[in-house]
Amino acid sequence: MDMVAILHVGPTFLLADIAPDVTILAGGFVLIAVCLALIGVAVAVLLAIKKSIVRSVPAGLTFHPAAPGDFPALDVNALEQYSSELEARGFSKLTCYTLAAEEGTVHPGFASLFWLQDRGVYAEVSQLFEAPKQIPMCVSLFTRFSNGWTAVTTGREADAAIWLLRRRDVCWRSEPGASVAELLTRHLDLCHEIRSATGGVPVTSRALENWYDGERRNTAAMRATLERRNILVLLWEYSTYRKKKQWLGALKAARSNVRNDYN
Q: 43 and 167: one domain? A: no
Q: What percent of the chain has pLDDT over 70?
A: 75
Q: Is residue 98 predicted with pLDDT exceeding 80?
A: yes
Asked if 226 and 57 touch (Cβ cutoff 8 Å), the reply is: yes
Helices (H), 106-250: 160-164, 180-198, 207-228, 231-239
From the number of C-beta atoms within 10 Å of its C-beta (0-12, 13-18, 19+), residue 200 rates as buried
Query: What is the number of domains present in the chain?
Result: 2
Q: 93 and 137: one domain? A: yes
Q: 16 and 127: one domain? A: no
pLDDT score at 226: 80
Neighbours of 228 (CB within 10 A): 7
Backbone CA torsion sign across 221, 224, 226, 230: negative
Q: 48 and 80: one domain? A: no
pTM of the model: 0.77
pLDDT score at 20: 55
Q: 47 and 63: one domain? A: no
Q: Is residue 258 predicted with pLDDT exceeding 70?
A: no
Query: Is residue 123 classed as helix, strand or coil in its secondary structure?
Result: strand
Which CB contacts under 8 angstroms, 24+ apart, belong to 136-143?
A: 136/75, 136/78, 137/74, 137/75, 137/78, 137/79, 137/82, 139/82, 139/86, 139/180, 139/183, 141/183, 141/184, 141/187, 142/214, 143/119, 143/187, 143/191, 143/202
The pLDDT confidence band at residue 55, using thresholds 50, 70 and 90, is confident
Q: 153 and 74: one domain? A: yes
Q: 148 and 19: one domain? A: no
pLDDT score at 157: 87
Q: 48 and 141: one domain? A: no
> How is 182-195 classified by DSSP, letter by letter?
HHHHHHHHHHHHHH
Q: Which domain holds residue 101?
A: 59-261
**pLDDT tens sequence across 115-146:** 999 999 999 999 988 755 667 899 999 999 99
CA distance 36 to 33: 5
Q: 39 and 86: one domain? A: no
The distance of Cα 8 from the centroid of its chain, to the nearest Å, equals: 71
pLDDT score at 41: 63
Q: 145 and 98: one domain? A: yes
Asked if 147 and 94 touch (Cβ cutoff 8 Å), the reply is: no
Least confident of 86-90, 146-150, 165-169: 165-169
pLDDT score at 12: 45
**pLDDT tens sequence across 184-219:** 999 999 999 999 999 999 998 878 888 988 888 888
Least confident of 10-14, 101-105, 123-127, 129-133: 10-14
Q: 147 and 241: one domain? A: yes
Q: 72 and 48: one domain? A: no
Strands (E), the chain: 59-65, 92-103, 109-116, 121-128, 135-144, 150-154, 170-174, 246-247
Residues shown for the chain:
263
Q: Over the chain, what is the mean pLDDT?
A: 81
Residue of 106, 94, 177 lying closest to 138 (CA atoms): 177
The distance of Cα 236 from the centroid of its chain, to the nearest Å, equals: 15
Asked if 142 and 152 touch (Cβ cutoff 8 Å), the reply is: yes
The pLDDT confidence band at residue 78, using thresholds 50, 70 and 90, is very high
Asked if 57 and 104 touch (Cβ cutoff 8 Å), the reply is: yes
